[in-house]
Structure 1
């Protein structure tokens, strides 16, 4: 799926570097590769979340979700993601 990098960078500027590193077209494999590292820590979990949202959600909606540090119900702080036996190769 092609996505609008500049729109995302303007909407969630705190993830500018991550968004700059993503390919022009995002697919399931791109998200899966990022997810392999999600359980390694909070930063990796947030990067996985943002990558998945780029793949299938709008930037305005992501800005309103409580995933940022200190937000109530923040999923990244729990690191409830399992990568199984897949190696982390971000």
Structure 2
């Protein structure tokens, strides 16, 4: 949720009219659809681990890029470190849970 809020804020405040609608509204909606269709734990079409990692890199990497480009690279670095730690712990937890 925090990633989507960041994308919306950066998209709507840092770009001019045609681009702000694309980045601030359409991009988060596309990311929500991708997440709900292919990444959610109870999704019927949940993709395998390598594809989930690829989708996470796409979503969180684009948010980090927008933060670094429009706000400050320091905040983008902090964001990506927190996201990477969360993703690693999440995938480790999924692997442990699948074994039980």
Question: What's the TM-score, normalizing by structure 2?
Answer: 0.31
**Larger gyration radius, structure 1 or structure 2:** 2
Tell which has more relative contact order, 1 or 2 (C-alpha 8 A, sep 6+): 1
Greater share of residues in helix:
2
Question: What's the TM-score, normalizing by structure 1?
Answer: 0.34
